[in-house]
Amino acid sequence: MTEKRFFCVLVILSLVVFGSCTKKKTAASDDKLIKFASCNLKAYEDSTKVLAEEVAKLGYTLEYVFLADNTQLNEAVERGEYFANYHQHTPYMNEFNREHKAHLAAAFKVFTDRSGLYTAKNYKTLADLPDGAVIVIPADAGNNFRAFTILIEAGLLKLKEGVNEEGASQADITYNPKNLKFIEVDYTMLSRTLEDADAGFLYATVAYDSGINPSKILAAEPERFQAADIIAVREENLNSEKTAILKKAFYTDAVKKSLRDSFGGTEVLIPVW
């Protein structure tokens, strides 16, 4: 889910680590211990707990922590305090690496959190949006362009010739026949601002957690931009035994079921296995 392609929501937790997190303490030798930092949203927490059970079946111990901040999650792995993290998609990780001169790498994909333009109004399709419609979009570079790709596919936007869709900004828009207005907000605020806008970019999980009916989606993001969430490690750990253990433990029916159960038995998240 980081920059997430996705941003984790701060909650009140009983034990504070790195400012806001919960931590599962263990007693295991370092060679059989995998320290794991996860987002504190429900689906991540639920699947992490099941993952720990599956890791134990393979003779290892998963010591996990739930953090509320994407930057902290990545810094914890970059500094070597945790072996892997679980909260983001590759575009977000790549942006973090560029900005922080970090060395994170995608160990393996876990699921796709389908994204799109949603509305809290009575519009049925993008064509129903009025002239001058206000659309809220993520402010971060790792997600900002994603709403544009949906509108480009629908013929409602064009970019400067030669500009790559991935990473494009409002300054690159050359064709906007409906005179759509874009308001950039922190991703954690998108669902809250949707009521005051005509449409907004959301992941399926955020829409579900915000009580937004899935039928309110106006258009889905093009499949080529549906970035899967990943488990991230430092580059030198890509081919390590611990990474292999994590992948084997994650790609199980038990973890798949936990992802579905987090959303009332529905497949809001799409597992890659």
Q: Tell me the pairing of strands 181-185 and 134-138.
A: parallel
Q: CB 202: neighbour CB atoms within 10 A?
A: 27
Cβ contact 65:212 at 8 Å:
no
Token pair in block for residue 121 = 């109004």
Q: Where are the alpha helices (DSSP H) in 168-235?
A: 190-193, 204-209
Provide the whole-model pTM.
0.72
The residue type found at 126 is L
Domain 21-112+226-271 and domain 115-225, same fold? Reply is yes
Q: CB 225: neighbour CB atoms within 10 A?
A: 17
Listed by start position, the domains of the chain span: 21-112+226-271, 115-225
- CA-CA distance, 238 to 235, in Å (whole number)? 6
Buried b or exposed e, range 26-51, using 16+ CB within 10 angstroms:
eeeeeeebbbbbbbbbebbbbbbbbb
Give the pLDDT confidence score for residue 11 in this predicted structure.
37
Question: Can you tell me which residue has the tokens 């494009």?
Answer: 168
Cβ contact 35:63 at 8 Å:
yes
Strands across the sheet containing 199-203: 181-185, 134-138, 199-203, 115-118, 217-220
Q: What are phi and psi of 43, to 5 degrees?
A: -60, -40
Token pair in block for residue 95 = 């942006």
CATH of domain 21-112+226-271: 3.40.190.10
Give the pLDDT confidence score for residue 228 in this predicted structure.
94
115-225 topology per CATH: D-Maltodextrin-Binding Protein; domain 2 (3.40.190)
The two counts, helices (H) then strands (E), for the chain are 8, 14
Give the pLDDT confidence score for residue 27 in this predicted structure.
55
Q: What is the pLDDT along the chain (273 residues), one digit of tens a residue?
A: 544 444 444 333 333 344 445 556 555 678 999 999 999 989 999 999 999 999 999 999 999 999 999 999 999 999 999 999 999 999 899 999 999 999 999 999 999 988 899 999 999 999 999 999 999 999 987 678 889 999 999 999 999 999 987 778 899 999 999 999 999 999 888 989 999 999 999 988 888 888 887 678 899 988 887 889 999 999 999 999 999 999 999 999 999 999 999 998 988 899 999
- CA-CA distance, 249 to 24, in Å (whole number)? 18
